[in-house]
Amino acid sequence: MIPLELLALLAALGAGVFGAVVGIGGGIIVVPLLAVGLGVPLHNAIAVSLLGVIAVSTAASANYLEAGLVSRRIGLTLLVSTTLGGIIGGFVAGLIDARVLAALFGIVLIAVALRMFFGREPVEPATVEEPGPLEFDATYIEPRSGEEVAYRVRNFGVGSVVSVFAGVLSGLLGVGGGIINVPTMNSLMGVPIRVVTTTSTYMLGATAVASAVLYFSRGEVEPALAGAVVVGSVLGGRIGARLQHRLPQRALVLLFVGVAAFFALQMLLRAFGSAA
């Protein structure tokens, strides 16, 4: 019989590849794979998923920082909000029943799947006039063309408030806050998608730490399972990043929508059915 940890390693590897290819991170797939597929208690699955998020974020952030693609001004400002949200999410998760978490997870999965299916084109704004009081201008070097791209960051206050919810979601469900951070920074704050994805990745690690310490202190981190998920997520993320431009994106998004719908149904059955 194959040990649970090796199955978890394969699950995290697959989730890491898939998450990196479709651009949503592995957490949203690895939690239901562990909980529904392998029978890991939901709180434990969320705890080790958070550790996977930290590992992938820190490994990728080093490269993004060296490439100059992370806006540390945006990232550090929003991190104050997301880490506060991470504490709230991690704390509340310790108080509520696994059925409630399963219901929340099912709803979030459906929302993410719908957003992926009806995904809008990313916003690429131009700078005009002088920046307002809560706005500032910034630039980055586009790696493909080598050109300097200027952009204006706006709605900083609203973005910071929304980021609290990204942290809460990360801490509560172990999915990383990217599913809220990315649309917030791009659509609401006007940051180019290239800087958004790298800055969001930079933020995910510290955000996940804020709640992971709470799960760790409650004894919900099983070290061998954590090892399987961390190693699988890091390797899967690297493989996925290499495959990203070679695989048909739309077909993968549709596959993700199908997989997410299946897991959402399983989570909702777990929440409202008899198999909690």
Partner 1 sequence: MTSQRPPILLTARVLTYGSIGAATLLGVGLLLDVAGQESVAEMVGNIGVVVLLATPVTGLVSTWSELRASRPVHARLAVAVLLVLGLATLIALLARP
Could you say which DSSP state residue 20 is in? H
Under the binding rule (CB under 8 A), the answer on residue 131 touching partner 1 is no
Rule CB under 8 A: choose which of 35, 42, 214, 259 binds partner 1.
214
Please give the Cα distance from 239 to 260 (Å, whole number): 21
Candidates 14-22, 121-129, 172-180, 212-220: pick the segment binding partner 1 (CB under 8 A).
Answer: 212-220
Q: Does position 185 bind partner 1 by CB under 8 A?
A: no
Q: Binding to partner 1 (CB under 8 A): which residues in 224-243?
A: 224, 226-228, 230-231, 234
Q: Which of 44, 49, 57, 197 forms a contact with partner 1 (CB under 8 A)? A: 57
H-only helix segments in 94-192? 98-117, 156-173, 178-183
Question: Interacting stretch for partner 1, rule CB under 8 A, among 173-181, 211-219, 246-254, 263-271?
Answer: 211-219
Name which of 62 and 134 has its Cβ closer to partner 1: 62
What is the separation, in whole angstroms, between the first and last Cα of the chain? 25
Measured in residues, the chain has a length of 276
CA dist., res. 176 & res. 195, Å (int): 17
Burial of 142 (0-12, 13-18, 19+ CB in 10 A): middle
Q: Which of residues 9-48 bind partner 1 (CB under 8 A)?
A: 9
- Is 127 near partner 1 (CB under 8 A)? no
In angstroms, the CA 117 to CA 119 distance is 6
**Taking CB under 8 A as the rule, does residue 80 contact partner 1?**
yes
Closest CA to 181 of 70, 169, 173: 169
DSSP code of residue 121? P
Strand partners, 140: 149
Residue nearer to partner 1 on the CB measure, 158 or 247: 158
By CB under 8 A, name the binding residues for partner 1.
3, 5-6, 9, 51, 54-55, 57-59, 61-63, 65-66, 68, 72-73, 76-77, 79-80, 83-84, 86-87, 90-91, 94, 139, 141, 148, 205-206, 209-214, 216-219, 221, 223-224, 226-228, 230-231, 234
